């Protein structure tokens, strides 16, 4: 008797499509998204420890690519600072450094991975089997996100081209810098041709004013020092009893040298000469006054002696 043989291969493939993802992602954890590094890399706090979590099956635009900011903002809006469910390939009991997972947010029934693909903000990784391929094809047909561009570049291709892109940008920047330098040089030469004489005249006037101001400052300093010497001679230095002229002049020199400007030796020499002349005059005047006072005192004393002895 003939028996009909049933082919179960299509049914097995269909069931594997439904069952394999749940087998692969055997570990489920509750956590909170504390940071979004990029659209497909999250920092999730699970049980008080933070894990770097890579969204599986997808690749989002790299920094420098179009739609990078849009994809990151999309994830931040849905997941940042929210509680999430993480279906990870890794078991936390083995203390993994990072996780590869599907991440579920409360407001969506599908994982965040698929939502990025559905919005046209992610590629499916080129693996032999990817559960998000049907969703990717729908986004392409609708020309959503990155698929609105004519020739979107996948992140792995962009990464390979990045060195040449950087070099080209650097060469272009150097070229623009050289052109700017040349333009600046031409502008400077043109400016000097138009206003060179005026600039030289203004610089000469400024230099003349500076020299005149310095000369006036020097003259004022000399006059101030002379006034200081006269003030010291008239008010601060007193001739002591029995002090010689040389000692008196040494005292005046000491006062002068204490108040002098160390960088103005010639002016100090003039001051000392002036001091000696004034000191000589003052000394002679003081000596004459002292002699007159002493003579008057001697006369008065002799007068008292004559009175005490009854002599007229």
Residue 10 has what pLDDT? 56
CA–CA separation, 296 and 291 (whole Å) = 9
Q: What is the DSSP letter of 80?
A: T
Coil, strand, or helix at residue 229? helix
- Give the pLDDT score at 22: 43
Of 57, 36, 33, 29, the residue nearest 44 (C-alpha): 33
Compute mean pLDDT per 10 residues along the chain, 312 residues long, and list them. Answer: 51 49 65 94 94 94 90 95 93 88 92 95 85 93 93 86 67 77 82 75 82 82 61 45 58 57 54 66 70 70 62 54
DSSP 232: I
Burial (CB count <10 Å: 0-12, 13-18, 19+), residue 231: exposed
- The reported pLDDT for the residue numbered 186 is 83
SS3 sequence, the chain?
CCCCCCCCHHHHHHHHHHHHHHHHCCEEEEEEEEEEEECCEEEEEECCEEEEEEECCEECCCCCCCCHHHHHHHHHHHHCCCEEEEEECCCHHHCCCEEEEEEECCCCCCCHHHHHHHCCCCEECCCCCCCCHHHHHHHHHHCCHHHHCCCCCCHHHHHHHHHHHHHHHHHHHHHHHHHHHHHHHHHHHHHHHHHHHHHHHHHHHHHHHHHHHHHHHHHHHHHHHHHHHHHHHHHHCCCCCCCCHHHHHHHHHHHHHHHCCCCCHHHHHHHHHHHHHHHHHHHHHHHHHHHHHHHHHHHHHHHHHHHHCCCC
First to last CA, the chain: 189
Residue bearing tokens 């003579």: 295
Tokens for 253, please give them.
Answer: 């020199």
| Pairing status of strand 98-104 against strand 49-55 | parallel
Architecture of the domain delimited by 9-152: Beta Barrel (2.40)
Task: Say what the pLDDT of residue 74 is.
Answer: 95
Domain boundaries, the chain: 9-152, 224-308
């Amino acid at each position: 008797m003939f028996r009909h043989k049933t082919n179960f291969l299509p049914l097995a493939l269909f069931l594997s499509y439904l069952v394999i993802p749940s087998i692969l992602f055997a570990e489920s954890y509750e956590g909170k998204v504390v940071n979004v590094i990029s659209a497909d890399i999250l920092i999730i706090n699970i049980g008080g420890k933070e894990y770097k979590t890579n969204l599986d099956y997808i690749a989002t635009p790299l920094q420098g690519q179009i739609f990078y900011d849009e994809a990151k903002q999309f994830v931040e809006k849905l997941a940042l600072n929210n509680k999430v469910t993480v279906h990870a390939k890794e078991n936390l009991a083995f203390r993994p450094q990072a996780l590869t997972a599907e991440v579920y947010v409360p407001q969506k029934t599908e994982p965040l991975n698929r939502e990025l693909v559905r919005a046209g903000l992610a590629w499916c990784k080129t693996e032999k089997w990817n559960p998000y391929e049907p969703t990717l094809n729908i986004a392409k047909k609708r020309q959503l996100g990155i698929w609105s561009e004519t020739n979107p570049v996948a992140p792995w291709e962009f990464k390979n081209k990045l060195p040449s892109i950087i070099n080209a940008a650097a060469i272009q920047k150097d070229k623009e810098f050289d052109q700017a330098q040349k333009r600046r040089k031409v502008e400077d030469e043109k400016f000097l041709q138009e206003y060179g004489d005026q600039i030289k005249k203004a610089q000469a006037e400024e230099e003349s004013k500076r020299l005149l101001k310095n000369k006036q400052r020097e003259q004022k300093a000399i006059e101030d020092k002379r006034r200081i010497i006269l003030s010291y001679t008239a008010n601060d230095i007193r001739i002591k009893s029995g002090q010689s002229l040389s000692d008196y002049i040494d005292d005046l020199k000491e006062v002068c040298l204490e108040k002098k400007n160390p960088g103005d030796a010639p002016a100090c020499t003039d001051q000392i000469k002036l001091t000696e002349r004034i000191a000589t005059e003052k000394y002679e005047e003081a000596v004459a006054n002292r002699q007159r006072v002493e003579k008057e005192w001697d006369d008065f004393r002799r007068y008292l002696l004559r009175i005490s002895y009854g002599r007229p």
